[in-house]
Amino acid sequence: MKKIAVHLARHRRLLALGALSLLLHLLALAWIGGRRDLDARQAPGVALALRLDRSAATTPSAAPQAAAEPAPSTTPAPAPAARDSVVAADTGASLPPLQSLVPAAPEAGQAAQPAALPGRAASPAPPALGDPRGAAVRQMPGRYQVRMPPPARLTYAVTRTRPGRAPQAGDEAQLVWEAGAGRYQLRVEGVLGLLESEGGGDDAGIAPVQASEHQDDGSDRITRFDRAAGRIASNGADDPLYLGSQDRASLLMQLAGMGMAAPEQMQGVIEVMVGGPDGAQATRFEVMGPERLATGAGSLATVRLAEVTEPGRRRLELWLAPERNWMPVQLRVTEPDGSVANQVVTSIDTAPVAGAAVM
Residue type, 196: E
- pLDDT digits 0-9 by tens, 207-248: 999 999 998 888 899 999 999 999 999 988 899 999 999 999
Choice between 169 and 77, residue whose per-residue pLDDT is larger: 169
Mean pLDDT of 98-109: 35
- pLDDT digits 0-9 by tens, 319-332: 999 999 999 999 99
Q: pTM score, two decimals?
A: 0.62
Domains contained in the chain, CATH given: 134-349 (2.50.20)
**pLDDT for residue 340:** 97
How far is Cα 250 from Cα 270, in angstroms, rounded to an integer? 15
Please report the sign of the dihedral spanned by the C-alpha atoms of residue 97, residue 98, residue 99, residue 103. positive
- Residue of 142, 185, 147, 186 whose CA lies nearest to 282: 142
